[in-house]
Chain A
């Protein structure tokens, strides 16, 4: 009985982690850029949902529709205006660039929104449904389903659409793709835009569940790292598998070893994967 509940908790948490990790993984895999901004983009998406709900009464599920184009555009501009200028540089330099941008964004949010914790409290609350003996909180359930849908959509975009194939082509071999007429810098900007879009739409989903503060981005970022490495860099199904694996590991780790060791277990898992399968659970070099 308890195990079923823990399993459900783990899967729902895993869905959210997959959503956090997918865009980060895409950018890292295709651009070889570790986007430190990712966590703060999620938080900014959360604030968008908070103000949309508290000022205009827009339900967080609908603010996803606002967040998607806004964050795509934001990501596109950041990449084409800034990151593209040093895309060939060693990974540490682009990391420093996004780290700096992240400092600016999080301090900007601190000045704009104050450090207080805010939370989207739906009125009436969504409540929970019972599936036999298992309680499923509706907001988490919907967030998980939406997260899976988003990850699926990203996967379809990459595998079916023309631009998606171009992204994968650039990832596999940048020079060859350029010779085939793919405009690499545009593809980079679109990829970064998609990564930002995934972060921006995770924000409203997470804002219903977690309190928002300008500096909580780093917590999301650390989860994104683990999801990425577990699942395999740049692989969208990998982010899904990595997210679910992390969610389940934390839930059962908390049950068996006590809550203070849940994160310990997830990092032990990370080290094991790095030792045994450094390319990640679903990682294959060159394919999305």
Chain B
């Protein structure tokens, strides 16, 4: 995996930034510069690799086609990545530095809802259109900001279809246990799950949080086992969820339905757990099995998958697709506006109504996309199989997770 691309070390990122700054003096007229504060080192570094994969594919594809069409000339794209070491305050500093010192035209948000919200105050202050590829929590978008646009639908769009599906296909599932990472997104999605379950008269028998960086979940899982739930819903990032699932197997905990968000969408989850990943359900904002015919530079979903596979040797996941569509959407807005003027591009984003390889993109009044329907999937025989929505489903929900 990812062998063909080593992650940038902070030093290299710095060198890139400096180098680019000198280069800029000569080239400023012909390139569009986009800043990307990324958690290249620190606990979120696997996520940064994914964001870079998507962004790099977009940059490469756009430049290969001659660049972005601005009025009647074409401009090349350049992305300046700065490492914020998985440290949110540094993400805010990095965003400010990119805008004021590196003079970027536009910005991509840092990773996740928390850091996106923190950095959005800076881009709003300088009125820089900013695309968030990995922020779903509504609290990020309800600040009245005009320059922030996000490609993930709100969290409940993941839990509601999931709860519907389980209720319809496994009416015996009545008791749910929820274990959430004490972090903005994992907690928000757990709260949405609790709401979705309660509104369907399911009984929430356990609902607890675990600390960021927890190394052990045996106690919480022993308690959950004693409560014999039908549905275990765990949230966190991939390392948390690998550990939780491993400890569930260790403690011989089984349940008809086990859902984990967000980790099973990644191949590493299946690689790390082997058979232990079988029948785990999850939901994500995108899946390579969706089929859209877009007007963006990638065109169809198939074509995006093909380009991605050619560059990285495997299928894209939703994070990679989302960071690529963030670029594609920005490109569409610049082309529509016919200028790199920030206010004009902001207007084009706000009025956007297009279909992309990622799905239909239309931003709501808060700037969060509201036109997408996230797929539900399940690990079956070692691969992710889409089980919802009906139009693209590849299999049906299987019960029983060991």
Contact = CB atoms under 8 A, between A and B. Distances in A.
Does B bind A? yes
Interface of A: 1-2, 5-6, 9-10, 12-13, 107, 110-111, 114-119, 121, 123, 125, 128, 135, 137, 139-140, 209-211, 213-216, 219, 223, 250-252, 254-255, 258-264
B215 interface: yes
B264 to A, nearest CB: 13
B46 interface: yes
A139 B243 CA distance: 14
A9 B208 contact: no
A259 B211 contact: yes
A211 B243 contact: yes
Given A2-B222, A250-B219, 11 more contacts: A9-B216, A13-B216, A13-B218, A115-B49, A213-B43, A214-B45, A215-B42, A223-B215, A251-B219, A260-B182, A260-B208
B41 A110 contact: yes
Contacts of B353: none
Contacts of A13: 216, 218
A40 B119 CA distance: 31
A254 B211 CA distance: 10
Q: Which 9 A-B pairs have the closest CB atoms?
A: A137-B250, A115-B45, A254-B219, A119-B272, A9-B218, A259-B210, A260-B209, A259-B220, A115-B46
B3 interface: yes
B6 A111 contact: yes
B3 A114 contact: yes
A254 B247 CA distance: 15
Tell me the dominant secondary structure on chain B's binding face: helix
A140 B209 CA distance: 24
Given A110-B41, A111-B6, A258-B209, A128 B251 contact: yes
Contacts of A250: 216, 219
B273 A215 contact: no
A45 B114 CA distance: 33
Interface residues of B, number: 48
B242 A119 contact: yes
Which residue, of A1, A116, A135, A250, has the highest number of chain B Cβ atoms within 10 A? Answer: A116
B242 A117 contact: yes
Q: Is the interface of A mostly helix, strand, loop or mixed?
A: helix
| Residue from B3, B6, B179 whose CB has the most chain A CB atoms within 10 Å | B6
A6 B220 CA distance: 9
B218 A263 contact: no
Nearest to B216: A13
Contacts, number: 137
Contacts of A254: 219-220
Interface in B197-220: 208-211, 213-220
Contact of B208 (A116, A209, A258): A258
A259 B272 CA distance: 24
A125 B215 CA distance: 20
Contact of B49 (A116, A118, A216): A116
B55 interface: no
B50 to A, nearest CB: 10
Nearest to B221: A9
Given A252-B219, A260-B182, A262-B219, A114 B6 contact: yes
Interface string B148-186: 000000000000000000000000000000010010000
B2 A114 contact: yes
Contacts of A128: 250-252
Given A2-B223, A117-B239, A107 B9 contact: yes
Contact of B272 (A2, A114, A211, A223): A211
A230 B274 CA distance: 38
B182 A255 contact: no
Interface in B31-51: 41-43, 45-46, 48-49
Nearest to A206: B215
Contacts of A111: 6-7, 9
A137 B46 CA distance: 29
A219 B274 contact: no
A263 B210 CA distance: 9
Contacts of A209: 246
A251 B218 CA distance: 7
A137 B226 contact: no
Contacts of B41: 107, 110, 215
Nearest to B269: A117
B239 A259 contact: no
B60 interface: no
25 contacts: A9-B218, A107-B9, A107-B10, A111-B6, A111-B9, A114-B6, A117-B268, A118-B268, A119-B273, A121-B271, A121-B273, A125-B249, A128-B250, A137-B251, A209-B246, A210-B215, A216-B43, A255-B219, A255-B223, A258-B208, A259-B208, A260-B182, A261-B211, A262-B210, A262-B214
A213 B214 contact: no
